[in-house]
Amino acid sequence: MASNNNNNIKIHETLKVVPPSLSTQTTTTTTIPLTFLDICWLRFHPVERLFFYTLPSSQSSPSFFFQIIVPNLKSSLSLTLQHFLPLAGKIIWPLDSSKPFIHFNPNDDDHGVSLLIAESDLDFNHLIQNSPKEVSLSRSFIPVLESTDLFASIVSIQITLFPKQGFSIGISTHHAVLDGKSSTMFIKAWAYLCKNIIETEESPILLPELEPLLDREIIKDRDGLSDTLTNNWVNVISKMFPNEKGNEKSLKIFPFEPKLEDYVRATFELKREDLNKIKESVLSKWELFNTKESKPESLSSFVLTCAYSLVCVAKAIQEIQNEKEKFAFLFTIDCRARLEPPIPNNYFGNCVLGLLVNTQPSDFIDEDGVFLVANCIHEKIKMINENDVLEGAKDEPNKFKSMMNEGYEIIGVAGSNRFEVYESDFGWGRPKKVEIVSIDRGLTIGLAESKDRRGGIEVGIVLDKHVMDVFSTLFLKGINL
């Protein structure tokens, strides 16, 4: 079933998609361990993305969609799972095991990826607009990812037709099995195989960069650091949900409920010229402040986008909720190239760590907030690049817990402008809109590259509608000055 009871959704079919090799009923059972970088996310909420695709009128009729498009999506998904076999399994935690792991039994009727085929009469053009809209609208097109005390599904997908307009693909993924880079690799692989099947009517060979490296043994523990890091983050999340204590081996995802009532979702864009203006403004102030380091030659788009967006969020919240004055920023950093030895770029799993930026709590609402926050993000990344990434991250959970206890408003970030989500073409063109729906489960900004391929960045945000009004004014005013 869909993730809510929206009357505008009609369910046509629910099924499990399995790799094609399962038709032979092989008896080989596969188990894959979870590393400490995976287990940190064991009961974290799923990452939910939504891809909207427009269709010409000749291809958006229900008959064409259900007879041509859906079968192509199904068959190519099955072929893709042949390469990404863990996604067709489940996370389990047997009583006799000290740690949970991924389990795939091809003869288990309940294995495979849950796929829901639906239809909606909502206005497609309204849904893909950047302007604020009800948070609940996007949730209609995201499937539930099943989790219980005993097991957790890894991927769930919903394909929804908007007759005469287009369709959407909603995907919900378990964060303990794959990070953002890995989930994007899976989507791109599925899109690549689907598009090539349509064009050649043959089963294509997956591109090398889309072929996942599934060997989790290459993530090495060091002096028990993994247990410390894992236990600290698990304790932090557990303290956020004290009523969920009980079965310590439970795999049920903690209830990070979406913010729905009085909240709206919107997308804002920083074009390349906007980022250049922000960069010039930040760099011009570098020598006016007593910074520890000399002025950098440049600043990344990530640093500039986060600093600008975070300051707008904090100032908007502070204006509406006067008592909010302490803010912090938590972001994840890709460790693949930062571990020793480095991990290949196509490693499929979690290879990210959460890091807190060493800002002062009031920096975000300071007159020079964009400079102050950009400086601190830049310094944090530089420090991590010059030192041991694992050693630098081991104290982050305790810092996070202290900030929560002190009443900080901690802002996170999801996605990346480097994932190239707008290149996910299944054979009917590039996406018209991509959203990270799960940012509504916390105070988080969602990042993606601009779809016009000109170097800009899209910023997705979910806020109280009164806060959103102020945020929108601040965001647009700042880049138009």
- The pLDDT tens digits for 451-464 are 999 999 999 999 99
pLDDT of residue 3: 41
40 neighbors 230 (Cβ within 8 angstroms):
yes
pLDDT of residue 295: 86
Is residue 376 pLDDT above 90, yes or no? yes
Query: Of the listed 111, 174, 175, 378, which one is catalytic?
Result: 175
Mean pLDDT of 173-186: 97
119 neighbors 62 (Cβ within 8 angstroms):
yes
* Highest averaged pLDDT of the listed ranges 57-66, 139-148, 232-241: 139-148
134 DSSP β-pair partners: 264
Rounded CA-CA distance 155/111 in Å is: 11
9-244 and 263-480, same CATH topology: yes
Is residue 175 part of the annotated active site? The answer reads yes
Indicate the fold that domain 263-480 takes in CATH.
Chloramphenicol Acetyltransferase (3.30.559)
Token pair, residue 381, equals 């990344």
Backbone phi, psi, residue 271, to 5°: -75, 165
462 neighbors 135 (Cβ within 8 angstroms):
yes
pLDDT of residue 49: 98
pLDDT of residue 397: 87
pLDDT of residue 297: 86
Q: Find, among 77, 258, 46, the residue nearest to 143 by Cα.
A: 46
pLDDT of residue 40: 87
Split at pLDDT 50, 70, 90, the class of 4 is: very low
pLDDT of residue 6: 56
Split at pLDDT 50, 70, 90, the class of 228 is: confident
Is residue 174 part of the annotated active site? The answer reads no
All structural domains of the chain with their residue ranges = 9-244, 263-480
Mean pLDDT of 75-84: 95
Rounded CA-CA distance 28/197 in Å is: 28
pLDDT tens per residue, range 316-333? 999 999 888 899 999 999
Is residue 146 pLDDT above 90, yes or no? yes
Rounded CA-CA distance 234/180 in Å is: 20
Instruction: Quote the mean pLDDT of the chain.
Output: 91
Indicate the fold that domain 9-244 takes in CATH.
Chloramphenicol Acetyltransferase (3.30.559)
Higher local confidence (pLDDT), 6 or 412: 412
pLDDT of residue 283: 93
Mean pLDDT of 345-368: 94
Element (H, E) at 229: helix 225-240
Rounded CA-CA distance 294/87 in Å is: 46
Is residue 393 pLDDT above 80, yes or no? no
pLDDT of residue 5: 44
Split at pLDDT 50, 70, 90, the class of 241 is: confident
HEC profile of 47-111: EEEEEEEECCCCCCCHHHHHHHHHHHHHHHHHHHHHHCHHHHCEEECCCCCCCCEEEECCCCCCC
Split at pLDDT 50, 70, 90, the class of 265 is: very high
Question: What strands lie across the sheet with 47-54, from one edge to the other?
Answer: 9-17, 113-120, 155-162, 166-173, 47-54, 433-436
Is residue 45 pLDDT above 90, yes or no? yes
Report how far apart, in Å, the C-alpha atoms of 222 and of each of 290, 339, 390 are.
Answer: 37, 11, 9
Alpha helices in 67-221 (DSSP H): 70-83, 124-127, 135-139, 180-200
pLDDT of residue 291: 62
Rounded CA-CA distance 262/21 in Å is: 48
Split at pLDDT 50, 70, 90, the class of 369 is: very high
* Highest averaged pLDDT of the listed ranges 223-227, 352-356, 393-397: 352-356
Cα-Cα-Cα-Cα dihedral sign, residues 233, 235, 240, 244 = positive
pLDDT of residue 292: 66
Is residue 225 pLDDT above 70, yes or no? yes
Q: Find, among 471, 122, 89, the residue nearest to 311 by Cα.
A: 471
pLDDT of residue 111: 87
Is residue 417 pLDDT above 50, yes or no? yes
Query: Of the listed 334, 425, 466, 469, which one is catalytic?
Result: 425
